[in-house]
Amino acid sequence: MQFTCSINDFNEAKQVIVGGVDSPVRAFKAVGGTPPFIHSAKGIYLYDEDNNRYIDFVQSWGPLLFGHCDADIESALIDTLKKGTSYGAPTTLETYLAKLIIAAVEGVDKLRFVNSGTEATMSAIRLARAHTKRDAIIKFEGCYHGHSDCLLVQAGSGLATFGAPSSPGIPDSITRHTLLARYNDIESVRDCFAKAPIACVIIEPIAGNMGLVPAKTEFLQELRALCDEHGSVLIFDEVMSGFRASRSGSFAFHKVQADLLTFGKVIGGGLPVGAFGGKDEIMHLLSPEGAVYQAGTLSGNPLAMAAGIAALSKIAHDSTLYERLETLANQLMDGFRQAADSQRIPLQTTVRGSMFGFFFNTAPVNNFDDAQKSDTKMFARFFRGCLERGIYLACSQFETGFISVPMNNEHIEMTISIASDVFKEIANGRI
Ligand SMILES: *Cc1c(COP(=O)(O)O)cnc(C)c1O
C-alpha cells in the first residue's frame, strides 16, 4: 500500500495546522507512521488520497452509527440545507430531536443542545455545582469527558497516549476541586466523599476512552447510593455510549439512573452536536428559567438537528438494530481472540452493543491501571499491519471500535481473516 499523497499532505498540513491535525489522536503518534488523509467515504469504507480503501471501524470516533453517506441522513440534510443553515432562533427541529432522546433514555425530563460533548459535560457540571452549592467533583482515572479545564485530569486515551497526567495551562486552583477515583472501585469513591462536600460524580458508565471498560452493575448501584446519601448529583457521560451501546445507552445494561446525562456523537448523525439533560428540578436552574448561564451561537442549528432526527428516527423504528450490531461485534471479537490465541498472543476483548474493545493484556481490564499494563508496542504492530491491509482501527490501544449498520457478516469474516494474518506475521517477527 502506498501512502505518498498522504505523506505530502501531512507535511503541508503541518506548515499551517499545529501537528497537522485538529484533534491530537489523529496524528498517529502512538502507532507511528503518517495518518492517511481521507478523500471521501461511503458506507463502511474510507478512501484516502492515495486511493487506498479501508473498512472503517472508527466511524469518526463514534457518531456514524449508520456508516458514511447514509441515504436518509443525507436527504434530510439536503432538504434542510436548502432552507438555510442557521437562524439563531428556535425551530421545531430542536423540539423533535429532544423528544426522540427523551423517549429513549431514562431520567431525562428536559435537555439542552450544544455543539460538542465537551460543552455538554462542562455545562452539566456547572448545573450540578449550582444545584448543590458545592465545588468539589469526583471523576475517574481513564474517563474522558472532553477538554474543559476541570475535567482534564487523568483523562484517558489522548492523554494516556501522550503520557501526560494532565495538561499545562490549567490552574491548580481549578483542578484542586477535581477528586480522582478509581473505576470499578467503590472504596476509592468513599475516600473522595470523606475529603470534601461533593457537588457531583461524573462517570462514563461504559468507559470508552481508556479502551472499552464497562462499569460493573454493582459498582454503579453503589455509586447511585453514595450520591443519594450525600445529596450529590450523579452525572452519566453517555456522549459515546448513548445510542451506541443501546437505544437507552448504559441503562439497558445496568438499570441505574443518573440525575444528569450528557450526549453527543450519535445524536448528531455525523454533525457536531452535544446535549445535556436530566431531572427537571436541576435543569430548570438553567438560564433563562434560572440563573445558571449557558449559551451557543450555533447550538441546535437546523443541519445538526436534521441529521440527528434522521439517525434517531431510524433507531426508533428498528427494534433489533443493537442486537444485530452486537452479534457482529461479538463475532469480530471472538474471531480476533481465537486468532490471537492460536499465535499465543494474549488478548482481552469486550463488547457493548455496537462498541468493541481489545487489549493486548494477560489479565482482564477493570480500570485505567489495568489498561495501562497493556502491550502498546504490540498494539502498534497490529494496528499498522491491519491498516496496510485495508482495516482502519482506532490508532491507540486506549480507544473503542465501532460496528456500523451497513456492516455484514462477510465484512466481519474478512476482517478476522486479515487480523489473523497480521497475528501470524507478528508471531513470526515479520512485522
Ligand atoms: C467524545 C467524548 C466527549 C467529548 O465530546 P467532543 O464532542 O469531542 O467534545 C466527552 N465524553 C465522552 C465520554 C466522549 O466519548
Instruction: Give the chain's end-to-end CA distance (angstroms, integer).
Output: 15
Residue with cell 487523568: 154
Closest residue by CA, ligand 1 atom 5:
117
The Cβ of residue 168 has, within 10 Å, a number of other Cβ atoms equal to 5
- Show me where the domains of the chain are located: 4-69+319-427, 71-316
Model confidence over 201-228: pLDDT tens digits? 999 999 999 999 999 999 999 999 999 9
Q: Which of 244, 152, 154, 162 is nearest to 205 (CA)?
A: 244
14 as an active site residue: the answer is no
Model confidence over 125-137: pLDDT tens digits? 999 999 999 999 9
**The CATH classification of domain 4-69+319-427, taken from the options 3.90.230.10, 2.70.70.10, 1.10.1040.10, 3.90.1150.10:** 3.90.1150.10
157 vs 399, which has greater pLDDT?
A: 399
341 as an active site residue: the answer is no
145 Cβ inside 6 Å of ligand 1? yes
240 Cβ inside 6 Å of ligand 1? yes
237 as an active site residue: the answer is yes
Model confidence over 368-406: pLDDT tens digits? 999 999 999 999 999 999 999 999 999 999 999 999 999
Bridge partner residues of 344 (DSSP): none
DSSP state of 37: P
278 Cβ inside 6 Å of ligand 1? no
pTM, two decimal places = 0.97
Residue with cell 482534564: 152
The architecture of the domain spanning 71-316 is 3-Layer(aba) Sandwich (3.40)
Asked if residue 276 lies in contact with residue 107, where contact means CB atoms within 8 angstroms, the answer is no
Domains 4-69+319-427 and 71-316 share a fold: no
